[in-house]
Amino acid sequence: MNKKVVEALTLQVNKEFYSAYLYLAMNQYFEDQDMPGMANWMYQQFQEEQFHAKKMLKYLNSRGVKVVLEAIEKPQIEWPTTMSVFENVLEHEESITASINNIQGIAVDEKDFATMNFLQWFIDEQIEEEENASNLIKQLQLIGDNGYGLLMLDKELALRTFTEPAAE
Protein backbone atom coordinates (compact mmCIF):
# COMPACT_ATOMS: atom_id res chain seq x y z
CA MET A 1 0.00 0.00 0.00
CA ASN A 2 1.19 3.53 -0.75
CA LYS A 3 3.29 4.94 2.13
CA LYS A 4 1.73 8.42 2.13
CA VAL A 5 -1.77 6.95 2.24
CA VAL A 6 -0.82 4.57 5.09
CA GLU A 7 0.69 7.46 7.09
CA ALA A 8 -2.38 9.64 6.60
CA LEU A 9 -4.82 6.86 7.52
CA THR A 10 -2.72 5.86 10.57
CA LEU A 11 -2.81 9.45 11.79
CA GLN A 12 -6.57 9.47 11.20
CA VAL A 13 -6.97 6.35 13.39
CA ASN A 14 -5.38 8.38 16.20
CA LYS A 15 -7.68 11.34 15.46
CA GLU A 16 -10.74 9.09 15.66
CA PHE A 17 -9.60 7.73 19.03
CA TYR A 18 -8.90 11.30 20.16
CA SER A 19 -12.44 12.21 19.03
CA ALA A 20 -13.79 9.34 21.15
CA TYR A 21 -11.77 10.61 24.11
CA LEU A 22 -12.97 14.20 23.61
CA TYR A 23 -16.61 13.05 23.58
CA LEU A 24 -16.00 10.96 26.69
CA ALA A 25 -14.68 14.14 28.37
CA MET A 26 -17.85 15.95 27.28
CA ASN A 27 -19.87 13.02 28.65
CA GLN A 28 -18.16 13.48 32.00
CA TYR A 29 -18.79 17.24 31.90
CA PHE A 30 -22.54 16.68 31.42
CA GLU A 31 -22.66 13.93 34.02
CA ASP A 32 -21.23 16.49 36.44
CA GLN A 33 -23.78 19.10 35.28
CA ASP A 34 -26.66 16.66 35.97
CA MET A 35 -27.69 16.64 32.32
CA PRO A 36 -28.16 12.89 31.73
CA GLY A 37 -29.55 13.26 28.20
CA MET A 38 -26.63 15.35 26.98
CA ALA A 39 -24.25 12.98 28.78
CA ASN A 40 -25.92 10.12 26.90
CA TRP A 41 -25.60 11.91 23.55
CA MET A 42 -21.87 12.33 24.16
CA TYR A 43 -21.51 8.71 25.24
CA GLN A 44 -23.15 7.49 22.01
CA GLN A 45 -20.79 9.79 20.11
CA PHE A 46 -17.86 8.28 22.06
CA GLN A 47 -18.93 4.82 20.87
CA GLU A 48 -19.44 5.99 17.30
CA GLU A 49 -15.91 7.43 17.15
CA GLN A 50 -14.44 4.15 18.37
CA PHE A 51 -16.35 2.47 15.56
CA HIS A 52 -14.79 4.91 13.06
CA ALA A 53 -11.30 4.10 14.38
CA LYS A 54 -11.97 0.35 14.25
CA LYS A 55 -13.33 0.62 10.71
CA MET A 56 -10.07 2.26 9.61
CA LEU A 57 -7.93 -0.28 11.49
CA LYS A 58 -9.83 -3.10 9.83
CA TYR A 59 -9.35 -1.56 6.38
CA LEU A 60 -5.61 -1.09 6.92
CA ASN A 61 -5.30 -4.66 8.22
CA SER A 62 -7.19 -5.97 5.19
CA ARG A 63 -4.55 -4.32 3.00
CA GLY A 64 -1.72 -5.93 4.93
CA VAL A 65 -0.77 -2.95 7.11
CA LYS A 66 0.17 -3.34 10.77
CA VAL A 67 -0.97 -0.12 12.44
CA VAL A 68 1.54 1.54 14.77
CA LEU A 69 -0.49 3.08 17.59
CA GLU A 70 0.59 6.44 19.01
CA ALA A 71 -0.34 8.22 22.27
CA ILE A 72 -3.77 9.86 22.42
CA GLU A 73 -3.69 13.53 23.35
CA LYS A 74 -5.40 14.67 26.57
CA PRO A 75 -8.74 16.29 25.67
CA GLN A 76 -10.24 19.52 26.99
CA ILE A 77 -12.27 18.68 30.12
CA GLU A 78 -14.06 21.92 31.06
CA TRP A 79 -16.36 24.28 29.14
CA PRO A 80 -17.95 27.58 30.24
CA THR A 81 -21.49 26.85 28.94
CA THR A 82 -23.65 24.11 27.39
CA MET A 83 -23.61 26.05 24.12
CA SER A 84 -19.80 26.17 24.10
CA VAL A 85 -19.63 22.37 24.35
CA PHE A 86 -21.76 21.93 21.23
CA GLU A 87 -19.85 24.70 19.43
CA ASN A 88 -16.72 22.70 20.25
CA VAL A 89 -18.39 19.58 18.76
CA LEU A 90 -19.10 21.41 15.49
CA GLU A 91 -15.62 22.92 15.33
CA HIS A 92 -14.07 19.52 16.01
CA GLU A 93 -16.17 17.76 13.36
CA GLU A 94 -15.26 20.45 10.81
CA SER A 95 -11.59 19.75 11.52
CA ILE A 96 -12.21 15.99 11.07
CA THR A 97 -13.98 16.67 7.76
CA ALA A 98 -10.96 18.67 6.59
CA SER A 99 -8.68 15.84 7.67
CA ILE A 100 -10.69 13.18 5.80
CA ASN A 101 -10.82 15.40 2.71
CA ASN A 102 -7.06 15.82 2.91
CA ILE A 103 -6.55 12.03 2.96
CA GLN A 104 -8.90 11.67 0.01
CA GLY A 105 -6.73 14.21 -1.82
CA ILE A 106 -3.63 12.10 -1.10
CA ALA A 107 -5.42 8.94 -2.26
CA VAL A 108 -6.39 10.71 -5.50
CA ASP A 109 -2.81 11.94 -6.07
CA GLU A 110 -1.43 8.45 -5.41
CA LYS A 111 -4.14 6.78 -7.55
CA ASP A 112 -5.18 4.57 -4.61
CA PHE A 113 -8.68 3.79 -5.87
CA ALA A 114 -9.53 1.31 -3.11
CA THR A 115 -8.86 3.95 -0.45
CA MET A 116 -10.84 6.55 -2.40
CA ASN A 117 -13.76 4.14 -2.37
CA PHE A 118 -13.29 3.31 1.32
CA LEU A 119 -13.16 6.99 2.33
CA GLN A 120 -16.44 7.80 0.61
CA TRP A 121 -18.30 6.33 3.61
CA PHE A 122 -16.45 8.74 5.93
CA ILE A 123 -17.09 11.72 3.64
CA ASP A 124 -20.83 10.99 3.80
CA GLU A 125 -20.65 10.38 7.55
CA GLN A 126 -19.05 13.79 8.13
CA ILE A 127 -22.01 15.55 6.47
CA GLU A 128 -24.25 13.94 9.10
CA GLU A 129 -21.81 14.67 11.95
CA GLU A 130 -21.69 18.39 11.11
CA GLU A 131 -25.45 18.58 10.53
CA ASN A 132 -26.20 17.00 13.93
CA ALA A 133 -23.96 19.50 15.73
CA SER A 134 -25.36 22.49 13.77
CA ASN A 135 -28.94 21.45 14.55
CA LEU A 136 -28.19 21.21 18.26
CA ILE A 137 -26.58 24.67 18.25
CA LYS A 138 -29.68 26.10 16.52
CA GLN A 139 -31.95 24.45 19.11
CA LEU A 140 -29.84 25.84 21.95
CA GLN A 141 -30.01 29.32 20.38
CA LEU A 142 -33.82 29.08 20.33
CA ILE A 143 -33.89 27.85 23.94
CA GLY A 144 -31.67 30.69 25.19
CA ASP A 145 -32.04 31.04 28.98
CA ASN A 146 -35.24 29.00 29.13
CA GLY A 147 -34.58 26.28 31.72
CA TYR A 148 -37.67 24.31 30.72
CA GLY A 149 -36.52 24.24 27.09
CA LEU A 150 -33.11 22.97 28.15
CA LEU A 151 -34.73 20.23 30.20
CA MET A 152 -36.87 19.17 27.21
CA LEU A 153 -33.80 19.04 24.95
CA ASP A 154 -31.98 16.97 27.57
CA LYS A 155 -34.90 14.51 27.60
CA GLU A 156 -34.78 14.27 23.79
CA LEU A 157 -31.02 13.62 23.76
CA ALA A 158 -31.48 10.82 26.30
CA LEU A 159 -33.12 8.81 23.50
CA ARG A 160 -30.05 8.67 21.24
CA THR A 161 -28.58 5.20 20.78
CA PHE A 162 -25.70 3.85 18.74
CA THR A 163 -25.47 0.24 17.59
CA GLU A 164 -22.36 -0.92 15.80
CA PRO A 165 -23.36 -2.39 12.42
CA ALA A 166 -23.28 -6.20 12.66
CA ALA A 167 -21.18 -6.64 9.50
CA GLU A 168 -18.37 -4.59 11.04
Q: Which residues contact 158 (CB under 8 A, 6 or more apart)?
A: 36, 37, 40
Q: Quick one: which of 10, 14, 19, 50 contacts ligand FEO (CB under 6 A)? A: 19
The reply on whether position 25 binds ligand FEO by CB under 6 A is: no
How far apart CA 67 and CA 65 sit, in angstroms, is 6
Q: Minimum Å distance from CB 147 to ligand FEO?
A: 29
How many residues bind ligand FEO (CB under 6 A)? The answer is 7
Q: Quick one: which of 52, 82, 150, 154 contacts ligand FEO (CB under 6 A)? A: 52
Phi-psi label, residue 71: left if phi above 0, alpha if psi -120 to 50, beta otherwise: beta
Q: Minimum Å distance from CB 138 to ligand FEO?
A: 19
**Site track for ligand FEO across 138-167, x = CB under 6 A:** ------------------------------
Residue 27 dihedral angles phi and psi, to the nearest 5°: -60, -45
Cα torsion angle, 141, 145, 149, 152, sign: positive
Binding site for ligand FEO (CB under 6 A): 16, 19, 49, 52, 93, 96, 129
